[in-house]
Amino acid sequence: MNFLLAEAGGGSGIGALFTALGLNVPALVFNAGAFLLVVAVLGKYVYPHLIKALDAKKEELEATSRMEQEAKKVLDKAEDKAGQVVNEARTAADEILASAKADAAAQIEAARAKATEQAERLVAEAREQLSRDVMAARKELKSETARLVAAATAAVLKEKLDSSRDSELIARSLEAK
């Protein structure tokens, strides 16, 4: 409304416009100058340090990010290597276990073969001993038989024959059978 009155009052140009809008021109100029002065001081003294600090922080964050990526790569490599080592260890353990089982089976088989061999040897020795005992028993039986035949002959003939004649008679008797 003042604007309309100012126009109607015939005021001159921009000053009247500012007055019509309720603006104080000297205060506006002073505030604009103060603003520009604050911007200039901030631009000269504050912003460069702030920008430098922000750039340093940005570089630090980027370096941290690079280091994190490198650390992740190293960790991945280490995990892969650890996995390979674990797999190699498992393979080696499996081989050792298989070797131990094979050795145990071989030892068991060797013990079994040794026991079988020893049993066969004992059986053979027992058979040999039995054969010797049978031969000795037969020899003793023959000698006992010869003695009994000589005694029977002496009883039948009522005379004692000499040893050579007894042996000859017994030998003929045994050959006849």
Higher pLDDT, 139 or 175: 139
What is the residue type of 132? Answer: R
Of all residues in the chain, what percent carry a pLDDT higher than 90? 61
Between the alpha carbon of residue 116 and those of residues 103, 112, 158, the distances in Å are: 19, 6, 61
Contact 147, 170 (CB under 8 A): no
- pLDDT on residue 95: 93
H helices of the chain, in order, are 2-9, 13-21, 25-41, 47-157, 163-176
How far apart CA 171 and CA 177 sit, in angstroms, is: 10
pTM of the model: 0.39
pLDDT of 9 > 50? The answer is no
116 alpha-carbon distance from chain centroid: 39
Residues in the chain: 177
**Percentage above 70 pLDDT, the chain:** 85
pLDDT at 55: 95
Task: Provide mean pLDDT across the span 97-106.
Answer: 93
What pLDDT is recorded for position 167?
A: 74
Amino acid at 111: A
pLDDT score of 166 more than 80:
no
| Confidence grade of residue 148 (pLDDT, cut at 50, 70, 90) | confident
| Calpha distance 2→10 (Å, rounded) | 12
Report the pLDDT averaged over residues 115-119. Answer: 93
Q: Is 86 exposed, middle or buried (0-12, 13-18, 19+ CB in 10 A)?
A: exposed
Whether residue 131 is predicted with pLDDT greater than 50 in this model: the reply is: yes
- Does residue 7 carry a pLDDT above 50? no
Read off the pLDDT band of 24 (50, 70, 90): confident
The band of 6, judged by pLDDT with boundaries at 50, 70 and 90, is very low
What per-residue string of b and e applies to 152-161 under the rule 16 or more CB within 10 Å gives b?
ebeeeeeeee
Q: Which of 94-98, 103-107, 159-163 has the lowest mean pLDDT?
A: 159-163
Which of helix, strand or coil describes residue 161? Answer: coil
